[in-house]
């Protein structure tokens, strides 16, 4: 017993003295369940739950929460420096500046950027604060640049553990195993254990190459076009691979289609055209960020209230009644429009909860420096936080309770494994404190209070049990052409960079173990 152990855990504790707190990995959209294993109130190891899988990030990346860069006290700008201050001082500065800017330039000059690294409860309270207290629908998240077009409109995800029920799996993203490792594992299991056919569109190398029944060394758009043509009756000519792939797809009673993390308009259209020619297609869109689904469900969107309820007179009146507040009645700016608004001078203040635009794309620094007032709420002193007028220390996912919703639309619970470090607080508590300082009437006592309110205004969550997936037919967007992605060719490389298994990122770069693994040289 104990013959194999990790460097992180070595000499830290005896396994029989550990306590477990079940939670969810927050590194990608799969939402793998895991156990924080603690000794004397401090995490010393992470393990997968029974019969579950954890990739390297999920198993080893937790140590970032103990990094010395963790923010432990509020900070405010004095001259050219950020200095420690009390919570009351920080809240007063925020409330005063936001009120002054709102009075002088209108609520529309203030924007809020949310995050996918926070819980559903955090996201819900944040968008409610921006709408009911600040008075603007300028609330969004840059993570929308990284979701597939058609997510929650056409490409609802199937359950990952049922990929193996399909006869053929068509993979349209070469980085599938990097972006969503669990999706990759389920594909491998389906092929190696159940003998399912794998059609893989990839012009380079991937671990799935050797497993594929048919390799299509084409671009996604070209592959889709040729498959549609072949399945429509046209001859594949000399392209034997396309002909073989078409034969497998034509014979399949059920098809799993792995939708790329970024999809162009042309690719999206061709995916739909192909699906019309196949039997029983289930989509599996790749989502690189953790609680994207939950943040979208909670209404961190400029033109939708929680539950994808479009902003117009009736829905505004309904939410105004539920929240006992006066709400703006027109859609706000998207994240891209806010960034452009800062550059043009129409956006004067920005509140960022849990995101790091500068860290993702350094040119954003010049844009954010034009703001009159910037608030950043995060767990680290990020590149964006260094520009802020006020920085607020947030608790990490291991230090708070709440829920998240994975790409399958499965509601999952986070359990607190440690107490928040220093004076840091859960995001929803911070937002509530700011709201009260500005005269708002938020009075949540716990995440349970927030979830009860969510259930009362978001139909998909009304009776959704922990561990269950809300069905796609409950979404007002189902079967529509709604596009929640901000991705387009014009912004492809503008604001946020790609992040794969070992790459840049607020958490990954602060995980000592992941950095060690990343630089291991393997000799073959």
Q: What is the pLDDT of residues 105-155, one digit of tens each?
A: 999 999 999 999 999 999 999 999 999 999 999 999 999 998 999 999 999
pLDDT in tens, 282-313: 999 999 888 999 999 999 999 999 999 999 99
How far apart are the C-alpha atoms of 320 and 239, rounded to whole Å? 59
pLDDT given for residue 269 in this prediction: 94
Check whether domain 75-147+291-401+423-448 has CATH 3.40.50.740, yes or no? yes
Q: Residue 40's pLDDT is what?
A: 81
Examine the pLDDT at 194 and tell me if it is beyond 90: yes
- Look at 198 and 509; give whichever has higher pLDDT: 198
In this model, does residue 57 exceed pLDDT 90? no
CA 23 to chain centre: 16
- Say whether pLDDT at 238 is over 90: no
The reported pLDDT for the residue numbered 499 is 41
- Tracing tokens 């995050």 back to the chain, one arrives at 115
User: Can you give the residue ranges of every domain in the chain?
Assistant: 75-147+291-401+423-448, 160-285
Tokens representing 474 are: 């409950």
Lowest mean pLDDT among 142-151, 344-353, 506-515: 506-515
pLDDT tens, residue by residue, 459-470: 999 999 999 999
- What does the alpha-carbon distance between residue 508 and residue 248 come to, in Å, rounded to a whole number? 40
Instruction: Tell me what pLDDT residue 515 has.
Output: 64
- Has residue 276 got a pLDDT over 90? yes
Buried b / exposed e over 138-166, threshold 16 CB at 10 Å, is bbbbbbbbbbbbbbbbbbbbbebeebbeb
Q: Is 434 a residue whose pLDDT tops 80?
A: yes
- Asked if pLDDT for residue 55 goes beyond 90, the answer is no
* pLDDT on residue 101: 98
Between CA 469 and CA 104 the distance in angstroms is 45
Given pLDDT bands bounded at 50, 70 and 90, which one contains residue 405?
very high
What is the DSSP code string of 218-229? Answer: S-HHHHHHHHHH
Quick one: tokens of 11?
């000499």
What pLDDT is attached to residue 489? 58
pLDDT number for residue 9: 55
Angle, to 10 degrees, between the axis of helix 220-231 and the axis of helix 240-251? Answer: 60
Please report which confidence band the pLDDT of residue 521 belongs to, taking 50, 70 and 90 as the band edges: very low
Query: Is the model more confident about 113 or about 234?
Result: 113
Average pLDDT over residues 346-375: 95
3-state secondary structure of 393: strand
* Exposed/middle/buried for residue 430 (C-beta within 10 Å: 0-12, 13-18, 19+): buried
Q: In the structure, what pLDDT confidence band is assigned to residue 503 with cuts at 50, 70 and 90?
A: very low
Residue in this structure with the two tokens 């709408």, named with its chain if needed: 131
Handedness of CA 206, 209, 210, 212 (dihedral sign): positive
Query: For the residues of 416-443, what is the DSSP string, one character each?
Result: --SPPSTT-B-HHHHHHHHHHHTT----
Phi, psi dihedral angles at 476 (to 5 degrees)? -65, -15
pLDDT, position 310:
97
Three-point CA angle 27, 58, 198, nearest 5°: 80
d(CA 524, CA 513): 23
260 pLDDT band (50/70/90 cuts)? very high
- Residue 522, pLDDT > 70, answer no
Q: What is the dihedral of CA 316, 318, 323, 329, to 10 degrees?
A: 10
Contact (Cβ atoms closer than 8 angstroms) between residue 175 and residue 502: no
How close are the terminal C-alpha atoms of the chain, in Å? 30
The strands making up 42-48's β-sheet, listed across from edge to edge, are 19-24, 33-39, 42-48
What is the pLDDT, as a whole number, of residue 18? 79
* Three-state DSSP class for residue 381: coil
Stronger pLDDT, 279 or 518, i.e. the higher one: 279
> Do 22 and 47 form a contact (C-beta atoms < 8 A)?
no
344-352: average pLDDT: 97
**Exposure of 47 by Cβ count < 10 A (0-12 exposed, 13-18 middle, 19+ buried)?**
middle
**524: confidence class by pLDDT, cuts 50, 70, 90:** very low
Confidence (pTM): 0.92
Whether residue 394 is predicted with pLDDT greater than 90 in this model: the reply is yes
pLDDT (average), residues 339-365: 94
Q: Which two tokens stand for residue 97?
A: 């500046």
Q: Is the pLDDT of residue 30 over 80?
A: yes
C-alpha–C-alpha distance, residues 288 and 267, integer Å: 19
How far is CA 366 from its chain centroid?
Answer: 25
Q: What is the pLDDT of residue 495?
A: 45
CATH superfamily, with its number, for domain 160-285 = Dimethylsulfoxide Reductase, domain 2 (3.40.228.10)
The pLDDT score that the predictor gives to residue 505 is 60
- Separation CA 245–CA 224 (nearest Å): 11
pLDDT in tens, 66-108: 889 999 999 999 999 999 999 999 999 999 999 999 999 999 9
Q: What does the buried/exposed string (b/e) look like for 443-454 if buried means 16 or more CB atoms within 10 Å of the residue's CB?
A: ebeebeebbebb
Q: Tell me the average pLDDT of the chain.
A: 90
DSSP assigned state of 131: I
Averaged pLDDT for residues 228-253? 90
Q: Residue 52's pLDDT band (boundaries 50, 70, 90)?
A: confident
> What confidence score (pLDDT) does residue 501 get?
37
CA-atom Rg of the chain in angstroms: 23
- Using the predicted structure, report yes or no on whether residue 497 has a pLDDT greater than 70: no
**Out of 63-77, 196-210, 351-365, 509-523, least confident range:** 509-523
The pLDDT of residue 227:
97
Residue 398: both structure tokens together? 């291991």
Q: What are phi and psi of 404, to 5 degrees?
A: -135, 165
Residue 513 pLDDT:
59
The whole-angstrom separation of Cα 5 and Cα 397 is 24
For residues 253 and 17, give the distance between their C-alpha atoms in angstroms, rounded to a whole number. 51
């Amino acid at each position: 017993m104990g013959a194999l152990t990790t460097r992180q855990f070595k000499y830290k504790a005896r396994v029989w003295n550990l306590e477990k707190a079940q939670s969810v990995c927050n590194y990608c959209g799969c939402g793998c369940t895991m156990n924080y294993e603690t000794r004397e109130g401090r995490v010393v190891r992470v393990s997968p739950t029974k019969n579950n899988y954890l990739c390297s990030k999920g198993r080893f990346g937790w140590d970032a929460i103990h990094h010395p860069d963790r923010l432990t006290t509020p900070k405010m700008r004095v001259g050219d420096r950020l200095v420690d201050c009390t919570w009351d001082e920080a809240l007063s500065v925020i409330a005063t500046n936001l009120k002054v800017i709102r009075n002088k330039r209108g609520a529309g000059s203030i924007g809020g950027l949310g995050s996918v690294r926070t819980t559903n409860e955090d996201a819900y309270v944040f968008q409610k604060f921006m709408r009911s207290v600040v008075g603007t629908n300028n609330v969004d998240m840059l993570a929308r640049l990284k979701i597939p077009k058609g997510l929650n409109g056409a490409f609802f995800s199937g359950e990952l553990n049922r990929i193996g029920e399909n006869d053929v799996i068509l993979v349209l993203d070469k980085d599938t195993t990097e972006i969503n490792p669990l999706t990759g594992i389920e594909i491998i299991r389906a092929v190696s254990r159940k003998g399912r056919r794998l059609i893989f569109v990839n012009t380079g190398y991937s671990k799935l190459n050797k497993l594929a029944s048919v390799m299509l060394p084409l671009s996604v758009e070209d592959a889709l076009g040729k498959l549609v043509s072949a399945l429509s009756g046209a001859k594949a000519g000399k392209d034997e691979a396309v002909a073989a792939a078409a034969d497998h797809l034509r014979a399949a009673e059920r098809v799993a289609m792995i939708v790329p993390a970024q999809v162009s308009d042309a690719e999206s259209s061709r995916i739909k055209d192909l699906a019309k020619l196949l039997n029983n297609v289930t989509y599996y869109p790749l989502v690189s960020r953790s609680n994207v689904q939950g943040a979208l469900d909670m209404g961190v969107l400029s033109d939708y209230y929680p539950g994808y309820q479009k902003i117009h007179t009736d829905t505004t009146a309904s939410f105004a009644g539920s929240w006992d507040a006066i709400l703006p009645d027109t859609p706000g700016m998207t994240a891209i429009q806010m960034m452009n608004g800062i550059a043009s001078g129409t956006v004067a203040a920005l509140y960022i909860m849990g995101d790091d635009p500068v860290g993702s794309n350094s040119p954003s620094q010049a844009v954010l420096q034009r703001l009159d007032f910037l608030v950043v709420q995060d767990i680290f002193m990020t590149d964006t936080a260094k520009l802020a007028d006020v920085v607020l220390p947030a608790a990490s996912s291991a230090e708070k309770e709440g829920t998240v919703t994975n790409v399958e639309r499965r509601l999952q619970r986070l359990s607190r494994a440690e107490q928040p470090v220093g004076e840091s607080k859960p995001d929803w508590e911070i937002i509530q404190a700011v709201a009260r300082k500005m005269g708002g009437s938020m009075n949540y006592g716990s995440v349970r209070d927030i979830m009860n309110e969510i259930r009362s205004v978001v139909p998909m969550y009304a009776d959704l049990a922990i561990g269950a997936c809300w069905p796609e037919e409950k979404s007002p967007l189902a079967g529509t052409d709604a596009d929640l992605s901000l991705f387009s060719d014009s912004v492809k490389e503008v604001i946020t960079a790609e992040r794969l298994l070992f790459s840049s990122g607020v958490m990954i770069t602060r995980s000592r173990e992941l950095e060690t693994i990343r630089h291991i040289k393997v000799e073959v």
